[in-house]
Amino acid sequence: MLKTLVKKQLMEIFRSYFYNAKTNKKRSTAGIIAYILLFAALMIGLIGGMFTGLSVSLCAPLTQAGMGWLYFALMSLLAIFLGAFGSVFNTYSGLYFAKDNDLLLSLPIPVRTLMASRLLTVYLMGLMYSAVVILPAVIVYWVTVSAAPMALLSGVLLTALISIFVLTLSCALGWVVAKVSRKLKHKSFITVIVSLAGLAIYYFFVFKAQTAIEQLVANAAVYGEKIKGAAHPLYVFGLTGTGDVTAMLLSAAVILALFALTWTLLSRSFLQITTASGASGKAVYREKAVKRRSIDGALFGKELARFTASPNYMLNSGLGILLLPISGILLLWKGGTVVSLLNEVFTSQSGCAEVLLCTGVCAIASMNDMATPSVSLEGKSLWLAQSLPVKPWQVLRAKLKVQLALTALPALVPLVCMTFILPVTAALPLVFAEALAYIAFSACLGLTLGVARANLTWTSELMPIKQSLAVTIALFGGWLYAIVFAGLYLWQGWKLGAAAYLAVAAAVTLAVTALLLRWLKTKGAQRFAML
């Protein structure tokens, strides 16, 4: 029974490798093998290769300085962080709030067996993420320092202890997430904020990693002494990788004791958590007036609510909403330096600062493509929109307005900030005109592609949001527009002057936008009605 449950859990996690989410049919054997090989290449080749390079750069300098324990302590921390981060949400969804908990609990399966299968799945996922960090570190140590029997044993033990500690930590963090999620409202926004925070932390470490490594190697003795005093357990755990018998026994005893405590607590609370329905306040009726809304207002509200209800939709189709204001703040902070640098680099092309900054706004705005998947996201509920006493164009116009509003308003932040760093010339108001014309063009192009290539048979909303050809064309088409816009100016357009070039570009963009808008009103609306 345990084997069957674990197999079921793993099949759910890696379902996309075996089944096509678009057709809900099993993939071919060749397709399954290709997906598995691609996953292995990413995990082992890319991520494992990255940490192998980090291990090579740290191992020799630290071990030669007699700080082998510091090498293992650092790599162990990275392994624990990646392992816990990679499996904590799997713990939340797979251990505590799995969709089939009620079904399985109704079957004659012991609760401990069900809990063990969930924990074993979490353990395997944590092992996968932590091993891709610690195994390269251990192997590099064996190759460059020592492959004695005690070193081999300590490396294997360290890998096992890290995987068990990751399981323990994931269970604890997953329990916290499960408890907090019961009390939260607006979970979609919380998911977006957490995801963006994770990306910010990741890129911060990526940009700071090389500097941190150099400082660590140069001051290994100083940092080592501080860790011995302030974080002695970390020092002991690092000694485990070097083959210190006392450290190995002590680390194993502590981690196994923590896991035993976690198992005991889970055994007592697992059934209560998995069957909890969450806190619900007592409903109190309060009479209030409901304002009547226009048809366009109601349709706009519906589309906006659809966008804000899905973390996947917001993260993949609305990143420009956040990046546009951030770019404006950066312009105020470093804009003067950027303008001076552009003028120095492109001395012969006068007015390049206005054109290139406008190009940057257009490129960031192209990351908003919520209109493109909006038709496909109607899915099997499309008949609701088609059955309403409204014209098809009104439905499409609401989808268009959402992207225009959520892109044009944030774009005003960097555009207004440009007025503080650019000289007041005839080109400055035309920067506004060209950027806003591009935003209208991008929205119309995206909606046109969405109507022309609508996919209403998806089984996962990620299919129309990030895995459709229409979204790919809209996204890369926007970047191509920005490249061509800037490239033509640097090639020959500068001879016209920045103001004239921006005026011509805005006029051409608006003309193409008008053609797309006409198609959406006529043939696009007819096509939408016939989907």
pLDDT band at 413 (very low <50, low <70, confident <90, very high): very high
Helix (H) or strand (E) holding 13: helix 2-13
pLDDT, one tens digit per residue, over 47-94 is 888 889 888 888 888 888 888 888 898 899 889 888 887 766 666 666
- Which residue(s) pair with 20 in the sheet? 25
pLDDT band at 262 (very low <50, low <70, confident <90, very high): confident
pLDDT, one tens digit per residue, over 200-230 is 766 666 666 666 666 766 777 777 777 777 7
Give the pLDDT confidence score for residue 88 in this predicted structure.
Answer: 64
Percent of the chain with pLDDT over 70: 84
Q: Is the pLDDT of residue 421 over 80?
A: yes
Percent of the chain with pLDDT over 90: 30
Tokens of residue 514, six digits: 């008008």
Q: Which of 158, 313, 328 is nearest to 244 (CA)?
A: 158
How would you class 211 by CB atoms within 10 Å of its CB: exposed for 0-12, middle for 13-18, buried for 19 or more? exposed
Tokens of residue 283, six digits: 């409903």
Report d(CA 386, CA 363) in Å as an integer: 34
Angle between helices 392-421 and 295-308 (to 10 degrees): 70
Amino acid found at 523: K
Report d(CA 470, CA 453) in Å as an integer: 6
Give the pLDDT confidence score for residue 506 in this predicted structure.
Answer: 94
Report d(CA 392, CA 396) in Å as an integer: 6
- Average pLDDT estimate for 442-460: 87
Q: Is the pLDDT of residue 279 over 50?
A: no
